[in-house]
Amino acid sequence: MFGSIWGYFYTSFLRYWLKWFIRQVTGKCELQRICAGYKPGAPRTTKAEYSLKNSKSKLLRAAVNVEEDGLEKYLDLVMREKNVKTQRDPTFKVNLKLCLLQITGYRNLFTSVEELRKETFDSDKVQHEEMLLKLWDLLMPEVKLESRVTKQWGDIGFQGDDPKTDFRGMGMLGLTNLVFFSENYTEEARQVLSHANHPKLGYSYAIVGINLTEMAYSLLKSGALKPHFYNTVSGRPQMQHLHQLFCYLVYKFDKFWVEEEPESIMEFNHYREKFHDNIKIQLLDPAVALTMTDSPRSN
């Protein structure tokens, strides 16, 4: 209760006067101090985002929604609004632009991800079918698929004879993630598949991959991935960056699963949530960077 009252008092009254006082002392507005006082990454961009969203200026609040083609013009308006002179602070515009590219890029990334998630796998679309068959070829290069609808799909972790039914929750996002991992980290993907087919510690590779796609999606939607992307992407986060995060999740979950040695696959939900909690804890670190240590390589 007290915390809520204090938060309201601070954001509505005290913060404004504190900012005014510090500007009188330093001669710099809050955004200038943030851009000059922090290196590129999550601490700087997160603080800039908070400052913009909580500004009393309508112009500044709207800055987090500006598209890239109108960014230069908007930066000039912000500098005029805050009375920032390029001669006195030559790096401010460049630094703020980077922050805004990351902030608006994150929002646009979610929009693109949502569109892909809502795209249903369609057997009548050649591109969809080709991606599915490509997944098989990448993971099982020595085994020929007997037919499009076959029990063989279970060998890479699908539930039924036709994988299309398993993509309902995450749509084409699930398949695209699986193909990206298999194509860009082929050795690792096959290694994970071999663990998934272990007689005692095994799990359904493809189904777990789709489940981890949902984890990545929910973290993106909640905003929890902002520190990660702000630290690892210098500019606008793109779809490939979410695919890279998925690769990290699959690879790390496999290691986690093997190390935990669950009694059976029936305990999957418990260990999935435990892994999810570990990831969320990592994302609280301002310096977080959930990346594969090795560069992508294919066979």
User: pLDDT per residue over 102-119, tens digit each?
Assistant: 999 999 999 999 999 999
- Give yes or no for a contact between 138 and 179, defined as CB atoms under 8 angstroms apart: yes
pLDDT score of 1 more than 90: no
pLDDT score of 21 more than 60: no
pLDDT score of 24 more than 80: no
pLDDT at 295: 42
CA distance 6 to 50: 17
pLDDT at 112: 98
**Mean pLDDT within 220-232:** 98
pLDDT score of 274 more than 80: yes
pLDDT score of 126 more than 80: yes
- Give yes or no for a contact between 66 and 100, defined as CB atoms under 8 angstroms apart: yes
pLDDT score of 30 more than 70: yes
Q: Determine the Cα angle at 236 with ends 234 and 239, to 5°.
A: 115
User: pLDDT per residue over 184-208, tens digit each?
Assistant: 999 999 999 999 999 899 999 999 9
Which of 10-14, 142-146, 177-181 has the least mean pLDDT?
A: 10-14
pLDDT score of 11 more than 70: no
pTM of the model: 0.89
**Mean pLDDT within 95-105:** 96
- Give yes or no for a contact between 209 and 247, defined as CB atoms under 8 angstroms apart: no
pLDDT at 296: 46
Which pLDDT band, with edges at 50, 70 and 90, does 292 fall under? confident
Token pair 């200026």 is found at 57
pLDDT score of 35 more than 60: yes
Query: What own/partner pairs with CB < 8 Å and gap ≥ 24 does 151-154 have?
Result: 153/206
Which pLDDT band, with edges at 50, 70 and 90, does 16 fall under? low
User: pLDDT per residue over 240-268, tens digit each?
Assistant: 999 999 999 999 999 999 999 999 899 99
**Mean pLDDT within 172-178:** 98
- Give yes or no for a contact between 35 and 92, defined as CB atoms under 8 angstroms apart: yes
DSSP H or E run through 135 = helix 126-139
Top pLDDT among 213 and 26 is at: 213
pLDDT at 176: 98
Q: 3-state SS string over 93-119?
A: HHHHHHHHHHHHHHHHHHHHHHHHHHC
For residue 185, which phi and psi values (nearest 5 degrees)?
A: -135, 60
Name the residue among 109, 115, 119 with its Cα closest to residue 239. 109
| Burial track 195-230 (b if 16+ CB lie within 10 A, e otherwise) | bbeeeebebbbbbbbbbbbebbbebbeeeebbbbbb
Average pLDDT across the chain, whole number:
90
pLDDT score of 7 more than 90: no
Name residue 157's amino acid.
Answer: G
Residues 6+ apart with CB under 8 A from 93: 75, 79, 84, 86
Give the bridge partners for 185, in sequence order. 297
